[in-house]
Amino acid sequence: MKLWINNNSKEKSVAAANKLRSKLLDAGLVLDRRDPQLVISVGGDGTLLSTFHAYAAHLDKVKFLALHTGHLGFYSDWTDTEIDELANRIIECQDNIPSTSYPLLDVMVENKEGSLFHGIAINETVVRRLSSLTMKTRVDLDREFFESFRGDGLCFATPTGSTAYSKSIGGALIHPKISVFQMIEIASINNRVYRTISSPIIIPHNQQVDLYPQTADDYVISCDGITTKLKNVKKITIKLNYQRAQFAQYRHRHFWTRVETAFLGQDEQK
């Protein structure tokens, strides 16, 4: 099996990656950065996001795996204290990698000259302005007018991304087995001209959101923290991508257990 291991520069991550790499190479697995079947991220959630985007063009043949060198992240089932067990699981299952899949956001921006920008996000996409001025946009849901939004911006989150930025601005927590995404308003303004629902909206897999922002030269769109400046925006479309991110699942860890561990950390009540 061909694989690649990507790690951040922290000492703990480098040591964990080297140990895992050595064990897998000793077992006859092959390192291949350009055409891997399995890509392993060693570090934190930020490392996983950068690793995912490095291989986002190969979603049809790549499976991802995250080994966390801190607290367990929402994409990680393994820590650096479990390298021996993880290596054994990878070696045993190299001919048939067990996996689960997560929804992804598909982002398309059209400007007034007809040029297109296409992006993808595994966590969230945020549309806002760089200046302190508010963003004004028409919002269509499923190709029908829904609201006139005015505020700091709009956040669109996948189920796995629902535990990240969207949670901090009042988004719902969504189980990743549900093929939906959500829209969360960021500091919306409500008056006689601009009326918003002021609540997270859960959108099914076969519907989309279209934004028609008022003219401004300082719009930006961020996909998992990767920010792109936009000019002369005509329309922004957010929907679920037809592809999903495949994650190697050498053992099952319940999503709500991840949530409890990350945000509550309480012992089980007897």
* Residues recognised as catalytic: 45
d(CA 71, CA 239): 31
Distance of CA 201 to the CA centre of its chain: 18
Cβ(181)–Cβ(240) under 8 Å? yes
In this structure, are residues 34 and 9 in contact, taking their beta carbons and an 8 Å threshold? no
Q: What are the structure tokens assigned to 155, written together?
A: 């956040």
How does DSSP assign 161-185, residue by residue?
A: GGGTHHHHTTPPP--TTS-EEEEEE
Nearest-CA neighbor of 2 among 31, 34, 27? 31
Pick from 35, 31, 28, 44: nearest CA to 4: 31
